[in-house]
């Protein structure tokens, strides 16, 4: 969020001044309220609380089926699996760090593994796809281990934050994050056992974190923490904003009317099977009473007294709507096609995609819309990852003396899709592409870590004895030197 210059100046002047900060915090939370509520509603609908579930009819005796089609869920799961089914590969440039590469890369992989980064990234993308934006907080925690070295007693932790409980304020000139805000509801129990829900706030700048708590309509220093102002040990704001696209919109947000229409169409079709909705009752010369209508609903038929003056008028028949038998099928197919088309997803049940005759290359062509969406997401995701590691490496440099430049960290995305590439085709790329680029074309279940695999191959070519305890089959073990000497960050 970028505010007008004057408002930005007011924020700068207010930081550290509790009285002024109270109004700033209130204004920001109030300004975010509309979109926060929209994101909460999007998340609720993603979890199944959709419009059709809340439909009511005036006539309570009328069937009211509520069939929800989980397009929101499958579109979200599809893009998350496509982008993060193979976890992002994080590595640093070996040509820059030379002798330090092994230790630094081991430290990076250890940090990521301790934070369960595969789950963090997939969960974050799940929220991004639904809500349009997400946040991650980086902070440090003390390790209570008497055997740990002094510089190992502090550990960095990454935590995903709900998008409706956070905000950032960007510099109006540089677009850099100058302030971060995390706010959430908290239950306070007084001496009489009365529970009051208050809002707690964490305000971050480039140096400190300030803690506030709601008191009536104001925000005061948080009396529930030992110190209301604490240094966070980073050189930048440790609240990182991730966005799904330049509109801050979720993946299914624009097609919800189509999804709701599909729910209504299927629900009403089942209603038709249970009522006279597919046939009108005709009353010829007879005025039906309430008992007659109830009897008709229960039995599916009713009696009309014989017309003695005109035998031709006496008949037994259904009076039906004049609807084409294919009308319902056509409607459902149209809605289904448009949901997948405008949602940039792939209908895996479509014979044109899942047929046995389809090759991996042909399927890739049908994945074109999904790939365009994934590429856009990837660009925004990498931008936020760079900001995140800019924050993290500032801590490593100042506290751990690990001199990694955040710009030297590489992020490799690999799609989770079928592939028809052969070993012969890979061999033919030798001399055209680097070995690392060639091996990155293989699925991660074949080669989990290309850098380590290349180092192992080099050791074999050089005739070195492989120490599997050091080289290992995991991504977080240094390939040379001693594990004991590797730095924990």
Predicted pLDDT at 429: 78
Cβ neighbors of 370 (< 8 A, separation 6 or more) are 78, 79, 82, 344, 345, 346
d(CA 364, CA 360): 6
d(CA 344, CA 129): 12
Predicted pLDDT at 478: 43
DSSP 269-291: HHHHHHSGGGB----SS----HH
Cβ neighbors of 189 (< 8 A, separation 6 or more) are 195, 196
Cβ neighbors of 272 (< 8 A, separation 6 or more) are 278
Predicted pLDDT at 209: 95
Query: Residues 181, 169: contact at Cβ < 8 Å?
Result: yes
Strands 218-221 and 208-215 turn out to be antiparallel
Query: Residues 53, 66: contact at Cβ < 8 Å?
Result: yes
Residue 130: its H or E element: helix 117-131
Counting every residue written for the chain, the total comes to 489
Angle between helices 18-46 and 117-131 (to 10 degrees): 90
Strands 89-92 and 409-412 turn out to be antiparallel
Over residues 164-218, the pLDDT tens digits come to 999 999 988 888 999 999 999 999 888 888 898 999 999 999 999 999 999 988 9
Predicted pLDDT at 480: 43
CA separation, residue 1 to residues 31, 32, 81 (Å): 10, 9, 29
Query: Residues 283, 305: contact at Cβ < 8 Å?
Result: no
- Cα 263 to chain centroid, rounded: 24
Cβ neighbors of 327 (< 8 A, separation 6 or more) are none
d(CA 440, CA 445): 11
DSSP structure class, residue 430: B
Q: Which of 204, 187, 205 is nearest to 196 (CA)?
A: 187
Burial bucket for residue 368 (CB in 10 Å: 0-12, 13-18, 19+):
exposed
DSSP-based three-state secondary structure for 476: coil
Q: Which of 374, 154, 151 is nearest to 245 (CA)?
A: 374
Cβ neighbors of 246 (< 8 A, separation 6 or more) are 380
Kindly list the averaged pLDDT for each block of 10 residues, start to end, along the chain of length 489: 60 69 91 95 95 89 89 94 91 88 89 94 96 96 61 80 96 90 91 89 95 92 91 95 95 95 90 65 68 69 64 62 72 92 86 58 75 94 96 90 91 76 73 81 72 80 57 42 44
d(CA 453, CA 140): 32
Query: Residues 31, 169: contact at Cβ < 8 Å?
Result: no
Strand extents, DSSP E, 235-359:
239-243
Model pTM score: 0.77
């Amino acid at each position: 969020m970028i505010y007008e210059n004057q408002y930005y100046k007011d924020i700068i002047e207010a930081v550290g001044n509790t009285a002024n900060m109270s109004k700033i915090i209130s204004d920001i939370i109030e300004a975010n309220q509309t979109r926060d509520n929209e994101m909460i509603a999007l998340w609720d609908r993603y979890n199944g609380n959709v419009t059709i579930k809340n439909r009511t009819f005036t006539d309570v005796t009328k069937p009211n089926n509520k069939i929800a089609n989980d397009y929101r869920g499958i579109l979200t799961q599809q893009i998350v699996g496509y982008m993060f089914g193979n976890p992002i590969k994080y590595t640093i440039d070996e040509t820059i760090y030379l002798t330090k590469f092994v230790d630094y890369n081991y430290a990076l992989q250890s940090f990521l593994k301790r934070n369960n980064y595969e789950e963090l990234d997939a969960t974050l993308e799940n929220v991004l796809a639904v809500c349009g934006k997400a946040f991650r907080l980086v902070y440090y925690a003390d390790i209570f281990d008497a055997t740990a070295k002094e510089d190992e007693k502090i550990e960095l932790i990454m935590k995903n934050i709900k998008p409706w409980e956070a905000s950032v304020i960007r510099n109006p000139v540089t677009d850099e994050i100058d302030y971060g805000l995390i706010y959430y509801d908290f239950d306070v129990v007084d001496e009489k056992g009365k529970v009051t829900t208050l809002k707690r706030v964490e305000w971050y700048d480039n140096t400190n974190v300030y803690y506030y708590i709601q008191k009536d309509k104001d925000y005061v220093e948080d009396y529930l923490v030992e110190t209301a102002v604490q240094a966070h040990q980073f050189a930048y704001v440790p609240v990182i904003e991730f966005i799904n696209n330049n509109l801050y919109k979720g993946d299914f947000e624009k097609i919800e009317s189509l999804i709701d229409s599909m729910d209504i169409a299927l629900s009403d079709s089942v209603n038709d099977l249970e009522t006279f909705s597919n046939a009108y009752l005709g009353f010829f010369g007879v005025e039906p009473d309430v008992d007659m209508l109830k009897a008709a609903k229960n039995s599916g038929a009713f009696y009309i007294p014989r017309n003695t003056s005109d035998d031709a008028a006496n008949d037994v028949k259904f009076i039906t709507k004049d609807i084409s038998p294919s009308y319902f099928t056509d409607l459902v197919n149209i809605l289904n096609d448009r949901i997948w088309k405008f949602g940039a997803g792939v209908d895996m049940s479509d014979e044109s995609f899942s047929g046995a005759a389809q090759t991996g290359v042909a399927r890739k062509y049908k994945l074109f819309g999904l790939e365009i969406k994934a590429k856009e997401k990837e660009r925004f995701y990498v931008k936020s990852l760079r900001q995140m590691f800019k924050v993290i490496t500032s801590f490593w440099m100042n506290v751990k003396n690990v001199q990694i430049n955040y710009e030297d960290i590489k992020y490799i995305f690999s799609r989770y899709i079928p592939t028809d590439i052969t070993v012969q085709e890979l061999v033919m790329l030798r001399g055209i592409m680097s070995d690392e680029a060639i091996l990155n074309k293989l699925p991660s279940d074949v080669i989990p870590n290309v850098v380590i695999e290349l180092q192992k191959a080099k050791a074999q070519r050089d005739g070195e004895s492989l120490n599997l305890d050091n080289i290992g089959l995991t991504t977080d073990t240094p390939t040379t030197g001693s594990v004991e000497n590797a730095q924990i960050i």
